[in-house]
Amino acid sequence: MDAVTVPTSAPVPSLEVSGLAFAYPDGHQALFGVDFAIGRGERVALLGPNGAGKTTLVLHLNGILGGGTGTVTVAGLPVGKRHMAEIRQKVGIVFQDPDDQLFMPTVREDVAFGPAAAGLKGPELERRGRTALERVGMQDFADRPPHHLSFGQRRRVAVATVLAMEPEILVLDEPSSNLDPASRRELADILRSLDVTVLMVTHDLPYALELCPRSLILSDGVIAADGPTGELLSDEALMRAHRLELPFGFDPRSVTAGAQPSR
């Protein structure tokens, strides 16, 4: 008798959004049915003009917003009350302003705050904090007050506060804003080194091209395009239709998306 081959099931995506629609209490409809999936370990940019619904979408990923229609699933778990504690550990959001996340007397205490609130203590709590700071190159600043650090250093510590939770997905809101060129490059190196799924919300299109092989364009509350970042940014009609502008003189065809830049 011939052996029966059992098909291997497809890997569970890190993030799956299906039919997501949402209106605010004042009646403003922000999302009209958003659909996409992101695989484990992908780095994906979320692009779109102001008012496209990007913030509304991000706030649905860990249950800060809810009550609309459609579904959001993180590592196979539906976002909802039943799994909310686990979802909020799996989806880590790094805000645009690091000062919105740093409020403890020292860097070490800021990075330990989330895991401690989740019930960790002792050696495991110390390991989480130490490892997170090492991953962003800030281990030598553990006992410094966050407000004594540069803006770029504070942003790296903000990333560490999220990494300490060992998330499935790292969501970054405008990660390159207000960074000088050296800090921008250092953060890019860190993001490339991380073994997590990354969703990067950004208006910095060259940074998206540098770090994210794939991009989504969110426009008027729907996904208007989903594809290789270089191809999307090279489509002048698509860019114009969704109010996306490249810096003067920048040619996306000259850059390989997600590639290590030359030094």
Query: What are the tens digits of pLDDT across the range 55-107?
Result: 999 999 999 999 899 999 999 999 998 999 999 999 999 999 999 999 999 99
User: What pLDDT, on the 0 to 100 scale, is given for residue 246?
Assistant: 94
Please state, as a whole number, how many other Cβ atoms lie within 10 Å of the Cβ of residue 96. Answer: 15
User: What pLDDT, on the 0 to 100 scale, is given for residue 1?
Assistant: 46
Domains of the chain: 15-101+168-244 (3.40.50.300)
CB neighbour class for 77 (10 Å; exposed up to 12, middle 13-18, buried from 19): middle
Q: What is the pTM of this model?
A: 0.91
Best CA proximity match to 166, nearest among 76, 79, 52, 86: 86
User: What pLDDT, on the 0 to 100 scale, is given for residue 249?
Assistant: 87
Q: How far apart are CA 208 and CA 238, in angstroms?
A: 16
Best CA proximity match to 29, nearest among 84, 1, 69, 58: 69
User: What pLDDT, on the 0 to 100 scale, is given for residue 3?
Assistant: 52
DSSP 88-147: HHHEEEE-SSGGGT--SSSHHHHHHHHHHHTT--HHHHHHHHHHHHHHTT-GGGTTS-GG
Residue keyed to tokens 């770029």: 152
Give the strands of the sheet with 15-23, arranged side by side: 29-38, 15-23, 69-74, 77-78
User: What pLDDT, on the 0 to 100 scale, is given for residue 261?
Assistant: 46
User: What pLDDT, on the 0 to 100 scale, is given for residue 7?
Assistant: 53
Tens digit of pLDDT for each residue in 198-225? 999 999 999 999 999 999 999 999 999 9
As a whole number, mean pLDDT of residues 133-137 equals: 97
User: What pLDDT, on the 0 to 100 scale, is given for residue 254?
Assistant: 79
Q: What percent of the chain has pLDDT over 90?
A: 88
